[in-house]
Amino acid sequence: MIIYLIFIIVGGLLLAFASAKLMNRLAFLRHGERAMGTFIEFVEQKDDDGTFYFPVFNIPYRRKEIITYKHWIGSTNTRWQTGDTALFIFEPGKPETIKPLNYRDILGGALLLLSVAVDLLVIGGGYFLFNGYFGM
Partner 1 sequence: MWYKLYLLTGIVLLAASLYKLRQSIDFIGKSKLASGVVTSLDESDGTYAPVFTIMTKEHGELIYHHAAYTGPSAWDVGEEATFLYDPADLRSVTMMEYFWLFSWAINLMAVAIPLIITGAGYLLFSRLIGKEDNRLSKKQGIFFIF
Contact residues toward partner 1 (CB under 8 A) are 4, 26, 29-30, 34, 55, 71, 73, 75, 79-80, 84, 86-87, 100-107, 111-112, 114-116, 118-119, 122-123, 126-127, 130-131, 134, 136
Between 64 and 136, whose beta carbon lies closer to partner 1? 136
Q: How far is the CB of 45 from partner 1 (least distance, A)?
A: 14
Q: How far is the CB of 127 from partner 1 (least distance, A)?
A: 5
- Residue/partner pairs of 62-70 with CB below 8 Å, 24 or more apart: 65/95, 67/37, 67/95, 67/98, 68/40, 69/37, 69/98, 69/100, 70/43
Check: CB of residue 2 under 8 Å from CB of residue 131.
Answer: no
Q: How far is the CB of 17 from partner 1 (least distance, A)?
A: 15
Total residue count of the chain as it appears in this document = 136
Q: How far is the CB of 111 from partner 1 (least distance, A)?
A: 4
CA–CA gap between residue 40 and residue 77 (Å, rounded): 16
Between 66 and 123, whose beta carbon lies closer to partner 1? 123
CA 22 vs. chain centroid, Å, equals 10
Between 56 and 123, whose beta carbon lies closer to partner 1? 123
| 95 three-state secondary structure | strand
